[in-house]
Chains A and B, each alone.
Chain A
Amino acid sequence: MEPVFRMQAGELSIRVAAGGLDPSALALPLEALGLPSTGEISALRLEPDAALRWGSVEGAFLARVLRHLDARGIRLALSGLPPEFEQLLGLARAGTHTSDTAMAERSPFLARIGLRAGNAARELGAFVTLLGETVCLLPPLLLARAKVRGAEVLEVLAESSSRALGIVAVVNLLMGAILAFVGAVQLRRFGAGLYVADLVGIASVRELTPILTGIVLAGRTGASFAARIATMQSNEEVDALVTLGISPSEFLVLPRVITLTLLMPLLYVYGCAFAMLGGLGVSASVLDLSPAAYWGAMRDAIAGANFAIGALKAGVFGALVALLGCHYGLRAERSAAGVGDATTSSVVASIVGIIAIDAVFAVCANALGI
């Protein structure tokens, strides 16, 4: 049923039938329901049917009428309400006046761009600060004065090494095989099948193994760092560290960064071995190359500098993945959604960062003639 408004000698009465109000009345404009011009109202009266069973719909409707009148400067008491429901409505009416309004207003397009740019700059600033803090903590670490728990280091070591060996091996093995297969198809046409070993060796050692291993660790270990620290943030565990005078950079970030930086070159060597094996498998089956010829060609093709560049890149990627994981974990919002956002951001930023740093390495190596 819809409410019935009636105006008589300045008194507005609202009649509600025994069946209560139809919820759809809440969505209709009050004028469309028959609310008269509000200027003349001097009293407000409710005329409910005696059998009416009061509920949320009636409450929401009356709260809406009162809000409508309040907004026009007509603040009248509503008579005719049962006392117990009057108390409830009083709470709802009080609520409309006591709270501050924090409606989300949509900013103009340019302002949104500016806000995003500002946020990005702040993120970058926070990341550089974290990097600086970590670097400054290296001397205390070398002098064994840093507050780092051995168990934490071992846990990070296990998470990033033994538990990551399988996936690093699979990814690099397949990458080596794919490179060899693509190379074999093309090079065989020119009678240069033996150069498959050069292709697999140089490409994997210098570029692809550090990148792929870095990406695997970004999705696995970096995401795990971000999720764990973000959860600690939302549980106020990080606050507990700070109040005890322990720097999160020292206790949480440093062990992760050091472990991953030192571990990545080792994983890189391990990954290179599997990439070469993958290439050997395809070369032997597609080109009928003997293992001795494959290894000989590869040994001649890969210079020591390629290994050095690859290992250096791997170390830098490891540091980057760990720093970004910790950075997004520490900056996470204190909620379940914040943990998810931190994890996603950490993985995306790590992958983009790895590719960007690899490009910088390529430019530098080219300039140095390596």
Chain B
Amino acid sequence: MPADACICVEEASVGYGARPVQSGINVRIDHGEIFAIVGDSGSGKSTLLKTMVGLLPAHEGRIRFDGKTLEECRQGGRAPFGILFQGGALWTSMSVLENVTLPMDLHGYSVPSARAELARFKLALVGLTGHEHRSPASLSGGMRKRAALARALALDPPVLFLDEPSAGLDPLSSRRLDELVLALRDGLGVTVVLVTHELDSLFGIADRMLFLDGETHRPLALGKPAQLAKSAPSAKVRDFLGRRGSRS
């Protein structure tokens, strides 16, 4: 395994229960890379993401962060990543600010007196200044997603996992989120792994992508989106990525 890989997935097989949804996954994600997982519905994109973050056990294979397994990383206290769930998954009994400060409080992150200011900065990054004391239930879907992204950033993780970040967002909000992801990568050196269906996001921000096939239950292509759109060996991948051109 290369020493400089941020995340290394080796011969992984993932799925729910005993049934594998995807097998034979081999991926090396570099530091500071924006890596997209795409594929048709039911192909196991979110399952792979959940396996990478330890919510589901891998049927086979290994997943390592900077050469360490997730268990080894967690021995240090916290996971080396932040996650944005598809629906946001904010804690509805707390305010937006409390959602961001709670991970810091629980992990003893930074000094207590600085946590609120750090949380405000993260909320400002996602454009939620002034909404700190609102309840998540009173936010729109897009705002909820942005608040959840601020929470994912709470502990300044080196890796961010985003599960369909643009789903349910209007094009402007979606573009703003893409800009934010790029700014986070460029400014803080965060590595980003995202599951997406949005071709604009994929071509706009992803350095590389992995295409999962729901029929053969195996990865079909790995590479740069623009290159794969032109010259992927699989016609299915070319068709999938070619939808963007046909729509515009």
Contact = CB atoms under 8 A, between A and B. Distances in A.
Q: Do A and B come from one complex?
A: yes
B110 A88 contact: no
Given A84-B186, A88-B183, A24 B130 contact: no
A95 B124 contact: yes
Interface string A87-98: 111011111101
A104 B135 CA distance: 10
Contacts of A96: 124, 129
Contacts of B183: 84, 87-88, 91
B140 interface: no
B179 interface: yes
Nearest to B112: A27
A336 B127 contact: no
A336 B187 contact: no
The majority secondary structure among interface residues of chain B is helix
Contacts of B132: 103
B248 interface: no
A60 interface: yes
Given A26-B113, A336-B93, A88 B187 contact: yes
A56 interface: yes
A55 B180 contact: no
A335 B137 contact: yes
A88 B125 contact: yes
Contacts of A102: 130-131, 133-134
B137 A54 contact: no
Contacts of A84: 183, 186-187
Most buried by A among B127, B129, B133, B180: B129
Nearest to B121: A60
Contacts of B179: 91
Contact of A54 (B93, B111, B129, B188): B188
B117 A26 contact: yes
Which has the most chain A C-beta neighbours within 10 Å: B121, B126, B180? B121
Contacts of B114: 23-27, 57, 60
Contacts, number: 109
Contact of B130 (A101, A335, A337): A101
A101 B117 CA distance: 17
Interface in A75-128: 84-85, 87-89, 91-96, 98-104
Interface in A42-85: 54-57, 59-60, 63-64, 84-85
Given A104-B133, A334-B137, A26 B118 contact: yes
Nearest to A63: B121
A239 interface: no
A333 interface: yes
Contacts of A93: 124
B128 interface: yes
Contact of B118 (A57, A88, A100, A103): A57
Given A56-B156, A88-B188, A100 B130 contact: yes
Contacts of A23: 110-111, 114, 118
B50 interface: no
A222 interface: no
A318 interface: no
Nearest to A333: B137
A193 interface: no
A25 B153 CA distance: 20
The 10 residue pairs across chains A and B that have the minimum distance between CB atoms: A335-B92, A27-B113, A88-B187, A60-B121, A84-B186, A23-B114, A26-B117, A26-B114, A101-B130, A92-B124
